[in-house]
Amino acid sequence: MELNIVYTKGGRVLPDLRSFLKELERDKDLIRIKDPVSIRFEVAAIMKELDCGPAIFFEKIKESDVPIVANVCGTRVRICRSLGVSEKGLYQRIMDSQMHPLRPTVVKDCPVKEVLEKPKLTKMPILLHYEKDAGPYITSAAVSARSPDGKIENVSIHRLLVLDDSHLAIRIVPRHLYKLQQMAKERGKSLDVAIAIGLHPTISLAAALQAPFGISEYDLANTLQNGGLKLTKCENVNAYAPADAEIVLEGCISGENETIEGPFTDLLGVYDVQRKQPVVEVVGVMRRKKCLYQALLPAGLEHMLLMGLGREVKIWDAVRHVVPFVKSVNLTPGGCGWLHAVISIEKQNEGDGKNALMAAFAVHNSLKHAVVVDTDIDVFNSYDVEWAIATRFHGDEDLLIIRNVRGSSMDPASDQERELTTKIGVDATRPLHKPSKNFEKAKIPENRNVKRILKKSARKLVS
């Protein structure tokens, strides 16, 4: 399938999923899978194998004529590329979007309204990911809804279990979408939602950021796109969706009708428990003529990045208010992009490490273990971090233990009913009362002749 993209009247490429995929393919950061594959575990298995690799385009799906794209936001480099920033400027760009939200333009005629049809969810290439999942799940959709008076809009990512051709079970935690649902329920109404699939990374990232209640994540996405986002009003419900989305399911979240949702493999890579959750009735579908379905692997690196980046920004901002300089923050893949953080700071006083740890725990409730290191340590290199702990950490002085505090409801080792856990902070910064030379990494001087020899040997190995 050719990735036909949409242009504005002035010839500028609209920042949609297709234009981004076209860029990735041009720069060999997208792989096409041409063999037929099944939505029952096969697509998920390939996504797992290529988890840290390029974006993926599945051309032939056994159960559907709709191709699948995946791993779109699977690396920091790709996310930065979608924003037009370097990794160094990523956090500030995200913060700027939250401080200066910009309302998108609303249009009537748009690509996502090329086809209007009745829902047939079982005919869509919705994936079955892991062997004990309750069924096929939509995992990449941005769900948008407005308060009954239309003044407040929320956009967030939720998992959706397919029940039949026109019904889904939606997992809602007690945050903003839940609050909107309760507001509608108090008026005896269901909550209209637009479930958008196939989105530019800026929209997916904004939907995962959780703006303060009252600020729409679409406004954040529009700022991230430098004012390029366009919305359209749904045909059958009072909700708005990106005009260049691939597919939009128009639905209503019942205030009364609930069903058992789960088990489902969530962020930590274990099966989340079953719960009673609201039912979504899908009343219509808007889509492009030759639409793409966007998949996201639960517990994959893309899932971790989208969930974790917003928290990294909060940690970075909070820590830089208590220490002079914060270089980097990494919610690590080993900590599922959620429970473990490594933070590098420029230490000025002996208490800086512990202050940084307390600031991090304060702004990310689910954070369980955190390590603070000096700026010469690469927070994305686990060898470097472990070396810092081995050479700069003194157990009875540099260990911070906080008992019986709020943790992640997903953590199976915690008190999940009361959401209580023990948090541990490790100050692996070098002690200032000892000479800095004692903690200096040994280096071998650079040598041009060595580089020439290695380059020559590498050519011989390839030939």
Topology (CATH) of 320-439: UbiD C-terminal domain-like (3.40.1670)
How crowded is residue 455: how many other Cβ atoms within 10 Å of its Cβ? Answer: 9
Q: Is 269 left (phi over 0), alpha (psi -120 to 50) or beta?
A: left
Q: pLDDT tens per residue, the chain (463 residues)? A: 666 655 444 444 467 999 999 999 999 999 999 999 999 999 999 999 999 899 999 999 999 999 999 999 999 999 999 999 999 999 999 999 999 999 999 999 999 999 999 999 999 999 999 999 999 999 999 999 999 999 999 999 999 999 999 999 999 999 999 999 999 999 999 999 999 999 999 999 999 998 999 999 999 999 999 999 999 999 999 999 999 999 999 999 988 899 999 999 999 999 998 999 999 999 999 999 999 999 999 999 999 999 999 999 999 999 999 998 999 999 999 999 999 999 999 999 999 999 999 999 999 999 999 999 999 999 999 999 999 999 999 999 999 999 999 988 888 888 888 889 999 999 999 999 888 888 988 889 888 898 888 888 877 665 5
Q: How far apart are the first and last CA of the chain?
A: 35
Contacts 24+ apart (CB under 8 A), 408-414: 408/338, 408/339, 408/365, 408/366, 408/368, 409/173, 410/266, 410/267, 410/268, 410/270, 410/272, 410/338, 410/366, 411/268, 411/339, 411/366, 411/368, 412/268, 412/270, 414/368
Q: Is 267 helix (H, G, I), strand (E, B) or coil?
A: coil
| pLDDT score recorded for residue 255 | 87
| pLDDT score recorded for residue 5 | 54
Task: Give the integer Cα–Cα distance in Å for 60 and 302.
Answer: 22
Distances (CA, A) of 366 to 255, 308, 316, 333, 358: 28, 11, 16, 15, 13
Look up residue 292 and give its amino acid. L
**Residue 37 has what DSSP assignment?**
B
How crowded is residue 165: how many other Cβ atoms within 10 Å of its Cβ? Answer: 13
How crowded is residue 325: how many other Cβ atoms within 10 Å of its Cβ? Answer: 12
Select which of 29, 266, 272, 411 is catalytic: 266
Task: Give the integer Cα–Cα distance in Å for 338 and 307.
Answer: 7
Residues 187, 180, 278: CA angle, nearest 5 degrees: 85
Q: Is 63 left (phi over 0), alpha (psi -120 to 50) or beta?
A: alpha
Domain ranges for the chain, please list them. 17-301, 320-439
Q: How many CA atoms lie within 13 A of 69 on its CB side?
A: 28
CATH number of 17-301: 2.30.110.10
| pLDDT score recorded for residue 132 | 96
Task: Give the integer Cα–Cα distance in Å for 436 and 431.
Answer: 8
pTM over 0.85: yes
The closest of 336, 343, 347, 349 to 318, measured between CA atoms, is 343
Look up residue 214 and give its amino acid. G
| 266 is annotated as an active-site residue | yes
| pLDDT score recorded for residue 13 | 47
For the CA atoms of 246, 250, 253, 258, the dihedral, rounded to the nearest 10 degrees, stands at -80
| pLDDT score recorded for residue 411 | 86
